[in-house]
Amino acid sequence: MARKGKNNPWAKADRFTKKAKHEGYAARSVYKLTEINTRFRILNKGQRVVDLGCSPGSWSRFVLEVIGPNGSLVGVDINPPEFRATQFLLKSVFDVTPDEILEALGGQADVVISDMAPLTTGNVLGDHVLQLELAQCAVDMALKVLQPGGHFVAKVFEGEDAQAFVQGVRPYFEKTKRVRPEAVRRQSREFFLVCTGFKPPAIEA
Closest CA to 59 of 197, 154, 173: 154
| Residue span 49-68 as binding mask against ligand SAM, x where in contact by CB under 6 A, dash where not | ----xxxxxxx---------
- Least distance to ligand SAM, CB of residue 174, Å: 25
Question: In degrees, to the nearest 5, what angle opens at C-alpha 166 toward C-alphas 164 and 167?
Answer: 65
Please give the order of strands across the beta sheet that includes 48-52.
87-90, 72-77, 48-52, 109-114, 146-157, 190-198, 173-179
Q: Determine the Cα–Cα distance for residues 42 and 1; give it in Å rounded to an integer.
A: 37
Q: What's the chain's length in residues?
A: 205
Q: Catalytic annotation on 45?
A: no
Query: Toward ligand SAM, which CB reaches closer, 93 or 112?
Result: 93
Assess contact for 162 and 170: CB atoms under 8 A.
Answer: no
Within positions 13 to 42, which residues make up the interface with ligand SAM, using CB under 6 A? 26-27, 29-30
Does residue 154 interact with ligand SAM by CB under 6 A? no
Does residue 75 interact with ligand SAM by CB under 6 A? no
Please report which helix (H) or strand (E) contains residue 109, including its range.
strand 109-114
Site size for ligand SAM, by CB under 6 A?
A: 23
Does residue 89 interact with ligand SAM by CB under 6 A? no
Secondary structure of residue 76 in the 3-state scheme: strand
Does residue 71 interact with ligand SAM by CB under 6 A? no
Does residue 145 interact with ligand SAM by CB under 6 A? no
Does residue 94 interact with ligand SAM by CB under 6 A? yes
Does residue 150 interact with ligand SAM by CB under 6 A? no
Determine the number of helices (DSSP H) and then strands (DSSP E) in the chain.
Answer: 6, 7
| Residue span 110-129 as binding mask against ligand SAM, x where in contact by CB under 6 A, dash where not | -----xxxx-----------
Number of residue whose CB is nearest ligand SAM: 53
| Options 2, 78, 90, 125; binder of ligand SAM; rule CB under 6 A | 78
Sign of CA dihedral 121, 20, 39, 68: positive
Contact set with ligand SAM (CB under 6 A): 26-27, 29-30, 53-59, 76-79, 92-94, 115-118, 134
Q: Which residues are catalytic?
A: 155
